[in-house]
Structure 1
Amino acid sequence: MSATASSVWRRLRRVLLSLPVLIVAGLFVFYVAFGYLAVGPLAEHYIPKLAQSQLDSRATVGKVAFDPLHLDLTVDQLQLSTPQGVPLAGFGKLFVDFAPVSLFRWAWTFRQIRIDQPQVNVAIAQGGAMNWDALVRALQRGPKPAKPSDTLPRVVIEQLQIAGGTLRYADANRPHPYATQLTPLNVQINDLSTLPKARGQYAISLVLPEQKATLRWKGYVGVNPLVSGGQAELTGLDLAAAARAVPNLSSTLQITSGTASIHAAYSAVQGQQGWLWAINDLGAQIQTLAAR
């Protein structure tokens, strides 16, 4: 090795073994090890405890994994229920991909947030009690901010996806108990942002199996200010099945057959005096309607 190369190596070695470099390297190794080895087990341990203490609910979680190098978080099989075990909500998988570009955009930026197979269950028992009552009361008695902020946090979600969702509703507090579910629910929103005047594009599809209908909804949405617009279409609605969802309707009118399709375009914006709505291109088609 030449004298010049030897001198360069000694200087480089001196820099690499200097105290500041060793501290930075040690902190990086600790961060990576903590992210891979500790974040998941800690989350799996504390999620049930926080649900019990803060939400008056029970929570179970399958696995939590955090990738400190790619800033990815994955949560598998999270289920939330009442203390008696009545289901409230849950999902099969949550994937959150945080973008380091947040440091330069001055906004919390997520490349992707995806929720697979989410489930929401609403059940009303005889007497009117709802399975969400205890959780709502727990949230209401939680700590209140000393001074509500009049500005929104700066958040950018480049892609938000909900895949294979299910909404279940059951009402036993009526003469004829009623239960239904809406599935699959699929939502995709691109470029959702709280930055001023930013707008994102969304597309929603929802199947109503009992009512044999499909809802398709697409358009744009903005958060700051609140604004939205787009087109919605409901096709193949079984009117007899839909009528069963209306309390006490069967005592005055019984729809025995019929299908309906409805479409409309809309725009909405929240102003100082409240919401301003505009609906146009409204149309409906009803076929083979029969009632008694």
Structure 2
Amino acid sequence: MFLKISKKSLFLLFLGFMVIPLPSYCEEVAEIEAVSLIYIPEEHKVVGEGDVCIKHRDFNIRADKVIYLVEEGEIFAEAVLGRKVEISRNGYKLYGDSLYYNLFENKGFMTGAESSANGVNLKGDRLEFYMTDEVPPKKFLFFRSSPKKLKKPAFEFSMVNGRFTTCKLYRPSYYVIGSKIILYPDRSIRIVKPTIFIGEERFLTFPFDYTFSIERREFSFVAPVLGFTSTLGWYGGFSFRNASTDFPFSITLLYSEKQDLVGKASGGFGLYDNWRFYFDLERSEEWQDEKLKWRTLLRL
């Protein structure tokens, strides 16, 4: 036995007005709209197909097919026509292959997730999201500020095995990977165990989580450098890198056991969308002479 609702109709799920009442802590209405909506009473299940849109709280879910289990408060959404499942809230738009969301717990996850906001591109195996009332403390090197309370609860997005970059995802000039990438409601991002790649080469792994804002298209950081070579002996210092999409540059200053103060500076600028020019001013491998090099990169 099932009940089929007419095409392009709006099916209102008043949480607490179904065959089995939902818990009182799930207070708000969820709306489902689709080309075809079927309610199966004996299974307490709603099936929507064709341009499905779910509205709950202040976010929307769009998919080709959705299954809603009323008794459990669970939503399963998937893209079956080669498109992506979409979840959007306050300017964020995240896309994936499939989605799970629990109305009772106000959390869920998305597989094959990707997103783009303010020139920052993110991609990961799995995107987790849930309600939160705090944003993380900012951290610069080893100095930390206190977390701040938001005016009202908002969503926190966590991307597992994720990567981000301000470049296009096809052959980016740099990208950052982390065991988890978290997007907070104040449009800041926290990278858990971040590793930075320049081109395809590993550049730096941070010993701590890193938080920054995506309101700007630059990614800047200062990192300590420590090591040993036969030429320099033991050395230590700092490296500053600004991975701007238009004017990238970096400065590295080291004090070495054998060569005293040594360093390297590099920079670049963009011309049109595909051309990038870079220059490097550095000491040679033997750290005896200064050397100026030019590089030109054309991206097709």
Instruction: Give the TM-score of the pair, scaled to structure 2.
Output: 0.33
**Of the two, which has the highest radius of gyration?**
1
Report 1 or 2 for greater relative contact order, CA contacts < 8 Å, sequence distance ≥ 6.
Answer: 1
Structure (1 or 2) with the greater helix fraction? 1
Instruction: Give the TM-score of the pair, scaled to structure 1.
Output: 0.34
